[in-house]
Amino acid sequence: MARPITLCTAQWADLPLDELCRVAKQMGYEGLELATWGPIDVKRASEDLEYVKEVKDTLAKHGLGCWAIAAHVPGQCVADLWDPRLDGFAPAECSGKPELIRKWGTEQMMLTAKAAHNMGVKVVTGFMGSPIFKYFYSFPQTSEAMVEAGFREVKECWGPIFDEFDRYGVKFALEVHPGEIAFDYWTFKKLLETFDYRETLGCNFDPSHLVWQMVDPCMFLEDFIDRVYHVHAKDCKLNYNGRNGCLGSHITFGDVRRGWNFVSLGHGDVDFDGICRVLNQGGYSGPLSVEWEDSGMDRIYGATEACEFLQRYNFEVSKVAFDSAIRTDA
């Protein structure tokens, strides 16, 4: 295979590591993208090398690797504009206290950099939060100054964290995603500019968050391929039938009245053939990590099928030109 196919444990945090490894291996995966909220404890992994050995030995027992650690939950707490939803991410003692939530998120991200180093992992995926995402529709009017201030605030929050990442030789791959400071093509470009194209910061490419925004995932990938540090394989089904809008209408995921839904790989509108061709052309050799999300399908069935589906598109570049056999010297 051209790249390892892994499973993001974000939606599987209810399972202990050994059980999750067993299930993932049975479903056909080659590794795990370990989430910090389950099944890995980054504080322990940053301090206790015996614990790190236990985690690595458990992975090895099942023939699995780990190429990335997912830190979406604490990362969101770093630069987000507080509302009660963040209380569910941070410890109970931080509830309702925005400064404590931000402090906790910052500390967790710094610990994650060290934990990744101890694990021999070079990439941390995650979110950064946003103090201005609620302003995405400019009413009440959003000034350019407010946008600039928001990007500056994110840089101030994340600069010290990235210093810690640099200290341990780890890169951060932001999942470009609604709710983040960078949620589409132009906001990601602006984020890179804000950080002066600091090498620490790249992208966890997830096409499912682009396609419903009418952003071409392949074009995004072509233009930012040098910043793609990790790839999530996730699909999205569009259902714009004249009633359903792209903003979701405050309707729960999985409801067919939505304009789009996350679905298991192969059941949506993401062009994985095109994506793998761009990845090949750009020389990306990291993992393809299945982030399995489908409210209408059993997760074991779906994640097994998703792994099989992705194997069909995880092809390598041809070592010969297709027309080389008909070449003449004339």
Residue 96 and residue 90: Cα distance in Å, rounded?
A: 10
Domain holding 152, by residue range, is 5-232
Among 228, 233, 316, CA closest to 29: 233
Residue 285 and residue 242: Cα distance in Å, rounded?
A: 41
DSSP assignment string, 224-261: HGGGEEEEEE-EEEE--SSS--TT-TTPPTT-TTSSEE
Among 229, 237, 221, CA closest to 293: 237
Q: Which two tokens stand for residue 32?
A: 């795990």
Residue 159 lies in a domain: yes
pLDDT the model gives residue 328: 67
pLDDT the model gives residue 322: 75
Q: Tens-digit pLDDT profile for the chain (330 aa)?
A: 589 999 999 999 999 999 999 999 999 999 999 999 989 999 999 999 999 999 999 999 999 999 999 999 999 999 999 999 999 999 999 999 999 999 999 999 999 999 999 999 999 999 999 999 999 999 999 999 999 999 999 999 999 999 999 999 999 999 999 999 999 999 999 999 999 999 999 999 999 999 999 999 999 999 999 999 999 999 999 999 999 999 999 999 999 999 999 999 999 999 999 999 999 999 999 999 999 999 999 999 999 999 999 999 998 888 877 777 786 665
Residue 292 lies in a domain: no
Residue 23 lies in a domain: yes
Residue 277 lies in a domain: no
pLDDT the model gives residue 330: 58
How many structural domains compose the chain?
Answer: 1
Residue 195 lies in a domain: yes
Residue 187 lies in a domain: yes
Q: Are 35 and 66 in contact (CB under 8 A)?
A: no
pTM: 0.96
SS3 22: helix
Residue 223 and residue 130: Cα distance in Å, rounded?
A: 23
Residue 257 lies in a domain: no
In degrees rounded to 5, what are phi and psi of residue 70? Answer: -95, 125
Residue 328 lies in a domain: no
In degrees rounded to 5, what are phi and psi of residue 319? Answer: -90, -5
Q: Are 19 and 58 in contact (CB under 8 A)?
A: no
Residue 67 and residue 55: Cα distance in Å, rounded?
A: 13
Q: Which two tokens stand for residue 326?
A: 């008909």
* CATH code (residue 69): 3.20.20.150
| Angle of helix 49-61 versus helix 98-119 axis, rounded to 10 | 60
Residue 65 and residue 72: Cα distance in Å, rounded?
A: 20
The b/e string for 192-215 (b: 16+ C-beta within 10 A; e otherwise) is bebbeebebbbbbbbbbbbbbeeb
DSSP assignment string, 165-232: HHHTT-EEEEE--TTSS--SHHHHHHHHHHTTT-TTEEEEE-THHHHTTT--HHHHHHHHGGGEEEEE
Name residues whose C-beta falls within 8 Å of residue 168's C-beta, 6 or more positions apart in sequence.
Answer: 113, 114, 116, 117
